[in-house]
């Protein structure tokens, strides 16, 4: 009758080896029994769910290029199910006083006072001010 077991030779990092050794001693069993039990409970190579579980506990990326998926629960009535791709709009290069103040995180009145004094880069067009995003960021950086 053939041997129902197969040899497995692995080299474990010292911390994991020590954990396995301590567990076997604490449970009064051998490492072979512990490894056999762990494999029988946690290794399922025959199902996608089993493989995903192994990837998760091993810290491996899921198939599909590492896409992140999430679920949003909406109140009833829910819209049709599907998926959406969001790409934020590019920030404008020309800003109003309010947009420039938001970019600099200051009050719009303070920004306009600095612009009137010529301390911040901007252009008056009629009664309104316009600001260049790159120029404001350069000014803020001290360039």
Q: Where are the domains of the chain?
A: 8-85, 94-141
- Whole-structure pTM over 0.95, yes or no? no
Does domain 94-141 fall into CATH 1.10.10? Answer: yes
User: What's the token pair of residue 40?
Assistant: 């029988």
Which stretches of the chain drop beneath a pLDDT of 50?
none
pLDDT at 39: 87
- 123 contacts 87 by C-beta, under 8 angstroms: no
74-86, pLDDT tens digit by residue? Answer: 667 655 666 666 7
């Amino acid at each position: 009758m053939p041997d129902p077991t197969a040899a497995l030779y692995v080299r474990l990092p010292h911390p994991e080896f020590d954990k396995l050794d301590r567990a076997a001693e604490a449970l009064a069993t051998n490492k072979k029994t512990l490894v056999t039990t762990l494999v029988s409970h946690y290794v399922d190579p025959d199902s996608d769910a089993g493989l995903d579980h192994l990837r998760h506990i091993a810290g491996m990326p899921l198939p599909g290029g590492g896409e992140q998926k999430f679920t949003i629960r909406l109140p009833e009535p829910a819209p049709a199910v599907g998926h959406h791709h969001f790409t934020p709009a590019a920030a404008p290069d020309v800003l109003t006083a309010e947009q420039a103040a938001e970019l600099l995180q200051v009050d719009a009145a303070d920004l306009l006072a600095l612009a009137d004094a010529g301390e911040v880069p901007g252009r008056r067009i009629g009664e309104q001010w316009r600001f260049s995003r790159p120029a404001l960021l350069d000014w803020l950086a001290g360039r």
